[in-house]
Structure 1
Amino acid sequence: MTTNEMTKKSRNLILALLFLGWSLGNLDRYIMNYAVVSITGDLNLDASSTGIILSAFFLGYAIMQIPGGWLADKFGAKKILLFSVIMWSIFTGLTALAWSLVAMIIIRFLFGIGEGGFQPSSSKIIATIFPREERGRAMSIMLSSGGIVSLIVPLLAAYLLGTIGWRTMFVVIGAIGAVIAFLYWKYIKLPQDEAVDNNNNENASTKINFKELLKTPLMWNLIIAYFCIYAVNWGLVSWIPTYLQKNRGLDLMSIGWAQTIPAIATIIGIYGSGYIIDKLPRGMDKILGSISCGVIGILLYLMFTAKSVTMFIGYQTVVTLFLAFVITMLPAIVLKKLPSSITGSAMGIANTGGQLAGFVTPMAIGFMVDAFNGSFDAAFWMLIGFAVICIISLLTLNDQKGSLLNS
C-alpha cells in the first residue's frame, strides 16, 4: 500500500486513533495540575516544590523532542509512536508510588522522556497520510484533544480525587495507556513508502540533513514562537487552579465548573483555526498570529486586574480563543512549509521550544509566587512579556526563501 492508495476511511481511522492518544497524553498533563493540590498536602510541599513537580515532566518531554523526531524519520513513525505510549503508560502508573518530592520529580521526568516522541511521530504520520491542503484541519483535530480534555478534567479530577485519590487515579490512567498501545499496534497501518521518506511524491529527490534543518532561520523563529506561546499556555494551565483556590477563594468543584467555559472556547477555537489556516493565503497566517499575540497580552493584563472571578473567567475565555489560533498555526506551518520527509525532525525541533517553556514557566511562577508573598502579579507580567516576544518572532518569520520551503 502506498500513500495515494490509502482510502479516506483508513486515514480517518488512523486520525481517530491518534486523537485518542493525544487525548490521553493531555489528560495526564492537565489532571496533574489538579492532583498537585492533593499531592502537595500529602507530601508537605511549598509553591516552589509544586512548580518543580509540574515542570519535571516538561524537561524530559523537551529533551526527547528532537531525538524522537529524528528517530521517527529514520526508523518509522509507528515504532516510535508505540514506544512512546508504552513508556508513558508505565511511568504514569508509577506516579502512584511516589513517596517524596525527589521520587515524584524523577518519575515525572521519566514520564516526559517516554511521551517525548509522541508528538513528532504522530505529526509525521499526519504529513505522511494527508495531502497538504488537509493537514491544518487534521492537526487542529489533534490539538482539539487538549481543549476537550481541559473541559472534562476539572470535574473529573474533583470527582476522582475525592473518591479514589490521586494514587489510584494514576494507576487507572496508566492502564488506559496500555490499551491504546495495543490499538496502535493492531490498527495503525502506514504506507510502505513511509519508511523511505518518499510519500505524496513530495520532494522525493530532496535530501536534507539534520544540520541543514537547524541552520534554517524559519526553524529558529518557530522555536522562539513555540516557547513564548506555550509559556503563556502552560503558565495559565498549570497555575490557574491554584490561583483560583488561594487568591480568589474557590474550592475544587467551583474551579472545575468555572474552567469548563474556557475549555469550550478552546475546542471551538482550535477546530475553527484549522479550517481558517487551510484557506489563508501565504503569509497571512503569521500576520493573524501576531495580532492574536497582541490581543493575548492585553487580555492577560485584564485578567489579573479583574475585580471579580466572573470577569477573570471572561477574559480567560477570550484568551483561550486567540491562544488556540496561534497554537494551531505553528505546527501547521511545519506541516505545510517543509517537506514531509523531515516532518518528524522539524516538529521535534520546533516543539522543543514549546516543551522547554512547559518546563521553565510553571517552576518560574512557583518561585515568583513565593518571592512575592503569594502574589501572582509578577507572573502575569512575565507572561505578557512572552506574548510580546512571540509577536516579534512571528513578524520576522520568513517562509519565502530557502530550498526547504520550495516544496
Structure 2
Amino acid sequence: MIARTNMRYMIIAMLFLGWSLGNFDRFIINYAILGISEDLQLSATSTGIVLSSFFAGYALMQIPGGWLADKFGFRKVLIIAVLMWSIFTVLTGTAWSLLSLIFIRFFFGLGEGSYFPAASKGIANWFPLNERSKAMSIMLSSAGVMGVITPIFGTLLMQSIGWRMIFFIVGGLGLIITALFFYFLHEPNNEKSEKVKEKNHAASPLRNVLKTPMIWNLFIAYFSIYAVHWGLSSWMPTYLSNVKGLDLTSVGMISAIPAFVAILTTLVSGYVLDRLPEGKDKLLAAIFGLMTAIALYLMAFAPTIAMFVVYQSIVTILLSFNIILITSVPLKILSEEIVGTANGFINTSGQLAGMLTPMIIGFLVDFFGGSYNAAFIMLICFALLCSIALFLIRPKTQLVQAQTNSVN
C-alpha cells in the first residue's frame, strides 16, 4: 500500500495535471476566437456570447458537482468530468455556425463544471488543515503555467495547424488523462471518511453552506474577482490586436508575461496563507482589492505596451492572492463532509461572472464604437466590490457560525 504522504503527492500531481488541461481548454478559446470569428463572421457581441456560453454550463454544474463529490466521492466525479469535457473539446473543432458553437461550448462547461468542487473535496480529504492552502495553490498554479504556454504555443499552433485541429488534439489528450485518473486517483481509506460518507446520505450540506454569512461574503468577492479575471483573459487578445495593433505572435508573447508572474505568486500565496492568523488574511485581501482597482485604472491609460504589461502583472499578483484565499477558506472552516458543496457554491459566483462579463464587454465595445474605456470602468467597480465584501467579513462571529453549521 502506498504511504499516505506519497499518495498525497500523487493526488496533487493528478489534480494539477487535470486542471492544467482544463485551463488550456479554457484559455485557448480566447486566442482561437480570432480565427473562429473570422471563419464564422461573428460580431463583437456574438463573440462575447460564445465566450460566455461555456461559463453558463460551468456555473450550472458547480453546486451539483460539489454535492456529488460530497455524496459519492471526488474520484468518480473527476473521472466523469474530464471524460465529458474532452469529448466536447473535440466537438468544438467541428463547429459550423454560431449556434452550434454556443451549444457545444455550453455542454463543454457542463462537463468541466464539477472538476473544481470535486478537486476541493479531494484536497480536504487528503491534506491536513495547515497544508490545504498550499495544496490548493499548487493545483491552481496550473492556471499560470497554462497562461504562459497557451498564448505562446497556442498562437503558433493556430497559425500552423488551425483552430479546429488544436481542439481535436487537446480533446485526445483529455482522454489519456481520463485513463490516468482512473488508475492513479484514490479515495482515502480510513474510518473517518467512511463515517463522513454515511453521514452524507442524511446531511443537507447546501443548507448549512447557505446559513453561513462568511460564505456569502466570499461568494460576492469571488464573483467580483472573476469578473476582473475573465474580463481581462477573454478580451485582452482581441484588445491588444484591435486597439494596440499587435500581431498574433506579439499578442501571445505579451499575454504570457502576467501569466508567468501568476505561477510564482499563486504558490507563494498558498504558503503565506497557511501561516497568516485568522482574520488578518481577509483584511490583507480586502486591501489588495483596492490596489487592484488602482492598477486597473493605470492599465487602462498606460502610455506604452511595457507599462500596460507591468500594470496587468500587478493585477495578476493581487488577484492570485485573493483567489487562493477565497478557495481555501472553506477547506479550513468547514468539515470535510460539506467542503465540496461549499466551494461549488462559491465557485458558481466566479463562473457566473465568467458568463456575464465577456458578453457585457462585447456589448459595451459595440455600443461605444470600439472603445474599451467603459469596460475598464466596469472592471474597476468589480475590484472595489470585492474589497468591500472582504472588509465586511467578521471572522470571530462568522467563523463560529460556520463551524456550528458544518456539524449540524
Q: TM-score, normalised by structure 2?
A: 0.95
Unmatched 5+ residue regions in structure 2?
A: none
Q: Report the CA distance between 1:76 and its aligned residue.
A: 1.2
Quote the Cα distance in structure 1 between the aligned partners of 2:328 and 2:265: 15
The 5-angstrom pairing of residues 304-323 of structure 1 reads 304-323=300-319
3-state SS of paired residue (1:98): coil
* Structure 2 residue corresponding to 1:76, chosen from 73, 77, 93: 73
Quote the Cα distance in structure 2 between the aligned partners of 1:153 and 1:343: 31
Q: Report the CA distance between 1:311 and its aligned residue.
A: 1.1
Farther off after superposition, 220-229 or 35-44: 220-229
Q: Which residue of structure 2 aligns with residue 137 of structure 1? A: 134
Q: Does 1:61 align with 2:51?
A: no
Q: Which residue of structure 2 aligns with residue 151 of structure 1? A: 148
3-state SS of paired residue (1:198): helix
Q: Does 1:226 align with 2:216?
A: no
Q: Does 1:25 align with 2:37?
A: no
Quote the Cα distance in structure 2 between the aligned partners of 1:197 and 1:394: 34
Q: Report the CA distance between 1:403 and its aligned residue.
A: 4.1
Q: Deviations over 1:106-149 (max 9, x none)?
A: 00000000011100001100000000000000000011000010
Quote the Cα distance in structure 1 between the aligned partners of 2:59 and 2:18: 18
Farther off after superposition, 206-215 or 11-20: 206-215
Quote the Cα distance in structure 1 between the aligned partners of 2:182 and 2:195: 21
Instruction: Provide the alpha-carbon RMSD of the alignment.
Output: 1.7
Q: Does 1:180 align with 2:180?
A: no
3-state SS of paired residue (2:93): helix
Quote the Cα distance in structure 2 between the aligned partners of 1:371 and 1:164: 34
Q: Which residue of structure 2 aligns with residue 281 of structure 1? A: 277
Q: Does 1:405 align with 2:403?
A: yes
Quote the Cα distance in structure 2 between the aligned partners of 1:19 and 1:65: 19
Q: Report the CA distance between 1:215 and its aligned residue.
A: 2.1
Q: Report the CA distance between 1:263 and its aligned residue.
A: 1.2
Q: Report the CA distance between 1:276 and its aligned residue.
A: 0.5
Change (3 A) 1:265 1:64: same
Q: Which residue of structure 2 aligns with residue 327 of structure 1? A: 323
Amino acid at match of 2:381: G
Q: Which residue of structure 2 aligns with residue 192 of structure 1? A: 189
Q: Deviations over 1:279-302 (max 9, x none)?
A: 000101111101111110001000
Q: Report the CA distance between 1:212 and its aligned residue.
A: 2.5
Quote the Cα distance in structure 1 between the aligned partners of 2:277 and 2:235: 37
Quote the Cα distance in structure 2 between the aligned partners of 1:149 and 1:365: 24
Quote the Cα distance in structure 1 between the aligned partners of 2:195 and 2:65: 16
Q: Report the CA distance between 1:192 and its aligned residue.
A: 2.8
Instruction: Among all aligned residue pairs of Structure 1 and Structure 2, give the percentage whose two residues are the same amino acid.
Output: 50
Amino acid at match of 1:165: G
The 5-angstrom pairing of residues 100-111 of structure 1 reads 100-111=97-108
Q: Report the CA distance between 1:207 and its aligned residue.
A: 5.5
What is the count of residue pairs matched by the alignment?
A: 400
Farther off after superposition, 367-376 or 189-198: 189-198
Q: Report the CA distance between 1:240 and its aligned residue.
A: 0.5
Any conservation in 1 of the 2:205–2:341 contact (CA below 8 Å)? no
Q: TM-score, normalised by structure 1?
A: 0.95
Q: Which residue of structure 1 aligns with residue 290 of structure 2? A: 294
* Structure 2 residue corresponding to 1:51, chosen from 35, 48, 53: 48
Amino acid at match of 1:45: L
3-state SS of paired residue (2:187): coil
Unmatched 5+ residue regions in structure 1?
A: none
Q: Report the CA distance between 1:195 and its aligned residue.
A: 5.7
Quote the Cα distance in structure 1 between the aligned partners of 2:180 and 2:266: 26
Q: Does 1:367 align with 2:366?
A: no
Any conservation in 2 of the 1:87–1:114 contact (CA below 8 Å)? yes
* Structure 1 residue corresponding to 2:334, chosen from 330, 333, 338: 338
Farther off after superposition, 45-54 or 217-226: 217-226
Farther off after superposition, 206-215 or 276-285: 206-215
Quote the Cα distance in structure 1 between the aligned partners of 2:68 and 2:52: 25
Change (3 A) 1:313 1:241: same
Any conservation in 1 of the 2:24–2:150 contact (CA below 8 Å)? yes
Q: Report the CA distance between 1:259 and its aligned residue.
A: 1.8
Q: Which residue of structure 1 aligns with residue 245 of structure 2? A: 249
Q: Report the CA distance between 1:238 and its aligned residue.
A: 0.5
Farther off after superposition, 215-224 or 272-281: 215-224
Amino acid at match of 1:372: F
Q: Report the CA distance between 1:6 and its aligned residue.
A: 4.8
3-state SS of paired residue (1:35): helix
Quote the Cα distance in structure 2 between the aligned partners of 1:270 and 1:374: 33
Q: Deviations over 1:88-117 (max 9, x none)?
A: 000010001110000000000000000111
* Structure 2 residue corresponding to 1:390, chosen from 366, 372, 386: 386
Q: Does 1:263 align with 2:256?
A: no
Q: Which residue of structure 2 aligns with residue 38 of structure 1? A: 35
3-state SS of paired residue (1:164): helix
Q: Which residue of structure 1 aligns with residue 123 of structure 2? A: 126
Any conservation in 2 of the 1:74–1:195 contact (CA below 8 Å)? no
Quote the Cα distance in structure 2 between the aligned partners of 1:28 and 1:208: 33
Quote the Cα distance in structure 2 between the aligned partners of 1:396 and 1:197: 35
Any conservation in 2 of the 1:140–1:270 contact (CA below 8 Å)? yes
3-state SS of paired residue (1:97): coil
